Amino acid sequence: MHPKLITFSCRLLVVVLGACASSPREPAVPAIPVLQASSKWYAGTVLEGAQTNVPSLEPANDDPEQPSSSRVARTHVEVRWLESLPARALDPIASHARLLISDREADPIVSTVDAMSTIRVARGDEADAFWTEARDHDIASTTERDPRDRAPRSASMGDATLVVPRGYTATYDVLVNRSAADAPLRFAFDVLPRAGDDDVLRVAIVTHGAGSDGGRPVTDGEGRLVVLEEPLRASDDRIVVLLRDPEAVGLDLGMPGTLAVSLTADAVAATDVASELAKCAEAARAAALDAEQRNRTPSPDALRRMELESAFEALARRDGNRRAAVWSLVGSDAGDRSSPLVADLVRTVDETTFGAFADSLAGSKDAILQVGTDPALIAWQVERRAWIWLVAKAQSEAFDDVLEAMLLRQSGEVGRYPSSVQSFANRAKNAADMTRRLEAENLLLLEDGNPGSRVRAYDWLALRDLAPEGFDPLAALEVRRAALDANREKRN
């Protein structure tokens, strides 16, 4: 064999043997999701939400009849990311549930079970074994791993310790960097007193729509709630919650993997956690104030402003019934009287034309709301902007026959002079004042030298029972003047 070929073959053999002898390469360390968690407290139970009466958290004097009176329960929460589902099978959450509630569907029990079917729970020794295995397979560990070990690697995302005094609820909201901020996975804890022993903690898990406000009732009108059957004891106890499908409970990790949460508890002397208790009391007072504000009946003015804001939001969306939104601004009961032009627009024009008017109106929201919430003032502001919009159309190429007929129908012969109409709209104090100005101007046009103008002004006034008695727009000048003079004397 040629020497060069022998050398090449030997080198190739060394490379192949070297590759076969090397150990399996560990998978690259991924960038785990970022945990965005928050803790809150409120006075009240898990189920009733924040109450306005906040109990004092001053450390109590030792009382032999109440050995736990000077001790406070705490819960420790740790969240870990797992790169895949573990082989260890955990129980469905329904088998550990004491109470299941859903505020959304007609069948709350079924809907809650369906929504939480991907959540698994372990307690006691089983939970300890699960968590020990997860920690032993930490992704940052430098210990050489057995190639036959198929347990998923994990990483700690964060932890927290929350004091849970009697009469209070502590909440821990779990979010990740891709999840919606208004739909965290919530863990809620309150105290179930046990005579002669440290307090135990009732644990509730809430998914979807719990909101970020710890002072609201834990389901907040949109959530699904499960209260676990067994409370969390203050020593030698652990609950592990595994999310088989994080997206099913609103957590978008943006990568493969899942989350597991460990819950443990202990009890400490109140004097040792004085600063934490002060933080808890401050948060509870803020939640109580918020609850008081929510429970307070809004004033009529506040309700009206909410209605107006809602109407303008509908105008801005462009995907709903914008005619109804405009109608609600002027008041449907009085729209024909207080806003005759707006009423005409709502009923007459096509969708494209009405959309242009609605866009113009939506852009005037701030100016309109500056006048307050009085229905008459709002109605006039909307009506005035309808006049200004219509006059602008009359002075542009986009003025079609429908809009021209509307302008003449609403303003009479004056409508042939758009600048005059705009001047009236700018100076009028309300719809009645605008109407008076249009009527007065049409009366003046009865003296116009153009017979056509006189006839049109007369017809418009006659439809409103305002035409001068005995006046003929086509009569001789002296006859017309005599009729007008007679009517002026009669009015005076």
| CA–CA separation, 35 and 53 (whole Å) | 33
Q: How far apart are the first and last CA of the chain?
A: 134
Question: How does pLDDT run across 15-41, given as a tens digit for each residue?
Answer: 333 444 444 455 566 678 888 888 999
Range of weakest confidence among 158-162, 421-425, 481-485, 488-492: 488-492
**For all residues of the chain together, what is the average pLDDT?**
81
| pLDDT number for residue 472 | 92
Residue 80 has pLDDT above 90, yes or no: yes
Q: In 182-257, which ranges are E strands? A: 185-192, 200-207, 224-228, 239-243
Nearest CA among 198, 195, 196 for reference residue 164: 198
Let me know whether 263 and 333 are in one domain: no
Would residue 479 count as lying in a domain?
Answer: no
Q: What are phi and psi of 474, to 5 degrees?
A: -105, 5
Count of domains forming the chain:
2
- Domain check: are 338 and 282 in the same one? no
**Does residue 226 sit in the same domain as residue 311?**
no
Residue of higher predicted confidence among 16 and 449 = 449
Query: Is residue 357, in this structure, part of any structural domain at all?
Result: yes
289 and 315 inside one domain: no
Closest CA to 282 of 41, 58, 71: 41
Same domain, 40 and 153: yes
Residue 338 pLDDT:
76
Domain shared by 41 and 182, yes or no: yes
Which residue carries 């719809």 as its tokens? Answer: 431
Amino acid (1-letter code) at residue 243: L
Domain membership flag for residue 102: yes
103 and 231 within one domain? yes
pLDDT digits (tens, 9 = 90+) for 161-210: 999 998 899 999 988 876 665 567 889 999 887 655 567 899 998 886 43
Residues 286 and 363 in one domain: no
CA atoms of 136 and 234, how far apart (whole Å)? 25
Instruction: Residue 327: give the domain boundaries.
Output: 305-447
Classify residue 33 as exposed, middle or buried by CB count within 10 Å of its CB (0-12, 13-18, 19+): buried
Q: Is residue 319 part of a domain?
A: yes
- Does some domain include residue 21? no
Q: Are strands 71-82 and 258-269 parallel, antiparallel or unpaired?
A: antiparallel
* Tokens 């017809």, residue located: 459
Task: Find tokens 């208790």 and name the residue.
Answer: 277
Give the Cα separation of 241 and 73 in Å (integer). Answer: 20
Round to whole Å and give the CA distance between 39 and 160: 8
With a CB cutoff of 8 Å and minimum separation 6, the contacts of 423 are: none
Please compute the mean of the pLDDT values over residues 274-292 and round it to a whole number: 87
DSSP assignment letter at 195: T
Joined tokens for residue 320: 């709903």
Long-range contacts of 400-406 (CB under 8 A, 24+ apart): 400/353, 402/348, 402/349, 402/350, 402/353, 403/349, 403/353, 406/341, 406/344, 406/345, 406/348, 406/349
Confidence bin at 484 (pLDDT 50/70/90): confident
| 3-class secondary-structure state, position 421 | helix
Determine the length of the chain: 492
State which H helix or E strand residue 309 sits in. helix 300-317
Helix (H, G, I), strand (E, B), or coil: what is residue 369?
Answer: helix
Q: What is the mean pLDDT of residues 325-335?
A: 74
Listed residues 447, 466, 485: the one ending a domain? 447
User: Residue 245: what pLDDT?
Assistant: 84
- Domain assignment of residue 407, yes or no: yes
Of 4-8, 78-82, 130-134, 244-248, the range with the lowest mean pLDDT is 4-8
Model confidence pLDDT, tens digit, residues 229-268: 889 988 789 999 998 888 877 788 888 889 999 999 998 8
- pLDDT bin (cut points 50, 70, 90) of residue 55 is confident
pLDDT at 215: 41
The answer to whether position 471 is within a domain reads no
The Cα–Cα gap between 340 and 344 comes to 6
> Amino acid letter at 450?
N
Cα–Cα distances in angstroms (integers) from residue 173 to residues 211, 221, 385, 480, in the given order: 9, 17, 48, 83
Instruction: Please tell me which residue, 458 or 33, carries the higher pLDDT value.
Output: 458
Whether residues 315 and 274 fall in one domain: no
Domain's final residue, options 295, 325, 360 = 295
Q: Are residues 327 and 186 in the same domain?
A: no
Torsion sign (Cα): 330, 333, 334, 340: positive
Question: Looking at the domain assignment, is residue 476 inside a domain?
Answer: no
What pLDDT does residue 330 have? 86
8 A C-beta contact, residue 348 and residue 402: yes
Spell out the residues 6+ positions from residue 116 whose beta carbon is closer than 8 angstroms to its own: 93, 94, 100, 205, 207, 224, 226, 249
pLDDT at residue number 106? 44
Q: Which of 120-134, 186-200, 257-271, 398-412 has the lowest mean pLDDT?
A: 186-200
Q: How far out from the chain centre does Cα 26 lie?
A: 44
CB atoms within 10 A of CB 165: 26
Q: Which two tokens stand for residue 315?
A: 């105008």
Picking from 31, 53, 33, 28, the residue whose alpha carbon sits closest to that of residue 43 is 53
One domain, residues 123 and 152: yes
Element (H, E) at 35: strand 35-43
pTM of the predicted structure, to 2 decimals: 0.55
Q: How confident is the model at residue 130 (pLDDT cuts 50, 70, 90)?
A: very high
